[in-house]
Every structure is written in C-alpha cells, then in structure tokens.
Amino acid sequence: MAHTHIAFASSSEYTNKQPAHMFAEVILPFPLSGTFTYRLNASQIKDAQVGIRVIVPFGARKFYTGIIYRLHQEEPQGVNIKEVSDLIDTHAIITPKQLQLWEWMAEYYQVTLGEIFKAALPSGLKLESETKVTLCPDFIATSTLPPTQMRILELLSDEKIHHAQELSKTIGTKNIMPHLYRLLEIGAILLGEGISENYHPKTEIRSRLPEQYQNENECQSALNSLRRAPKQSEVFTSFLHLLTQSDSTIPEVKKSTLLKEAKTTSAILKQLEEKGLLQPYIREINRVTPLSEHTAEMHPLNEVQQIAFNDIHQAWNK
C-alpha cells in the first residue's frame, strides 16, 4: 500500500503572511486509504498544525475526531470542500516521528492510516457521533459551566447511556464534540463505548419440581393425583426419570429435553404447570464452554522429537 510522504508543515510557516485559503489533510478512523481534505476558516489558520486533533463533519450528520496529517494551499477542483468544525488541541499530540511510525506501520501491515489512528489513540481522545456517554457519579461541579454543558449534564442525569449524536439532536447544537471534550477533561462524564446495549444473556426454559413435592411421599401423592390424566402422568413420570439421571442437585429439567423424552407437546406440560405440579423456570446459560477435566493421552514422540526432548531434559538438569 503506497502512502504519500508526509510534508511536516507547521503553523509557523503561515503566520508571517496568513494565506487566504488553507486546507488540512485529515486522518479519520476509517479503513479507507488516504486522507480527507477539509477547509480551515480564517480564525483556525493561525492555530492549525500537523499532529493536532480536529473535529470534522463526515457524511450527512455525523462528526468525527481526526488528526491533521498535512497542511497545504492546494484547493481541490470540482468538489465542495467541507470546513473543519473545531480545533481541539493547541499543541500537537502526535509528533512528526510518531506520524512517520504510523506511516511505516500502515505500509508494513498493509492497513490504512485510519486503522492505525483508531488503534493508537484511546477512545477518550477520539470522540465521534456514535460515542456512548454517561454521567460520572462522583462528579461535583466547582465552577459554573456554560449553558450547553449544563444541559448535557441534565440529560445525562437519568443515569442512562446516551449517544453523542442523540445529545446533539436533543440540545439542538450542530457540533457537540467540543463540549463533550471539556466535560471529559473536568471528569464530569464517562465514555461507555465498551458497553453493549444489545447484549442479551443466553437462556433456556426448564421445568422445576416445586419445593412442596421435593420429598418422596408428596411426590408420590402428586403422581397418584394424575391417575385420570394418563398423558400428564406420563410427562410427570418422564420428568422424575430425567431427574434420576441428572448430576445436578437442583430438581429441574430442560423443557426441550422433557418434551422429547415424554414424546409430548407443550400443551400437556402447560396443564401440569397449571396444577402446580411443575414450575416453568428460565435459566441463564453461560456462553463460555467450561474446559474439560479430561485430557487426551499424549501421542508417542517420534525419533527426532525424542532426541530433542532428551537434550532439553539433560540441559534442564545440569
């Protein structure tokens, strides 16, 4: 993957005679080759420098944090260039040497600069529209905050997770990122990017024997009460049979296993539940399969492996 050599321009090159137009090549955290060109407005030109973070629009309504990769005055022709929304840093947080390292890594590992940027910086340094934000429970304001930042804290007071884009829309501000960075700096908010709101634990339905029937006499009485309901009796008997085969100390059986064993339907099982002879129960299942306690026997070593093993064993015992 070929990358253009970095031109390490700095803001000092432009302060003596401030140009009318200035453009920034920005690295964004996407797996797309190259950089993205943005226009700097007149107030940003004097402070812009390679290696600082900027907030830029991307797509219809989204904003991302990027790194200035290069500054130049070459206006692209035939395209509408969007403007940098805000400069985050007053000094470069990525040095020229680090950018050179990023460039080398992108070439060596055949990835994009955007992927290197995304991996290199912690999430707190690269907010974006999809960033999840929560209120820090320990935060105590020691000074008056601007109205927009106060409004953000009010919205976060419900202790739920909010997306930056959602907060921006609710407040009615086009670019909320500078306010979030400020709140992050003073410890008012936490980033919840690692929290998955779509996670649902894996569960399975089981049938459990009620506590009042967990002794032999009461269990037999329950079975006797089903003499005039042969199908229900068969299911209850199958349930007891499966209990005797289980290693678990909890008197419950997986519903699907019970239906298969009794060769019956959920309707019959439902009748037993309505009589209070069985209880439906939802159990959360661990998604991680436990390691087996049994290990396979080691295959015999071949001649070469045995020689190597003996050499290692002798060296270890010296």
Alpha-carbon gap, residue 39 to 6, rounded angstroms: 19
Alpha-carbon gap, residue 112 to 30, rounded angstroms: 8
Alpha-carbon gap, residue 208 to 130, rounded angstroms: 44
**Which pTM value belongs to this model?**
0.51
Residue 196, pLDDT score:
42
DSSP letter assigned to residue 297: P
Q: Answer yes or no: are the C-beta atoms of 48 and 93 closer than 8 Å.
A: no
Tens place of pLDDT per residue across the chain (318 aa): 444 433 344 444 444 556 678 999 999 999 988 899 999 999 999 999 999 999 998 887 788 899 999 999 988 888 888 999 889 888 999 999 999 999 999 999 999 999 999 999 887 787 877 788 888 877 777 778 888 998 898 888 887 888 888 888 888 887 788 888 889 888 888 876 544 444 455 677 888 888 888 888 888 888 889 888 999 999 889 888 888 887 777 788 888 888 888 888 889 888 988 898 888 877 776 555 554 555 566 678 888 888 888 877 777 776
Give the start-to-end residue ranges of the domains of the chain.
Answer: 12-125, 132-191, 202-285
Q: Answer yes or no: are the C-beta atoms of 28 and 85 closer than 8 Å.
A: no
Q: What type of residue is 93? A: I
Q: Which CATH number fits domain 12-125: 3.40.1440.60, 1.10.760.10, 2.30.30.100, 3.10.129.10?
A: 3.40.1440.60
Residue 193, pLDDT score:
52
Contacts of 15 (CB under 8 A, 6+ apart): 46
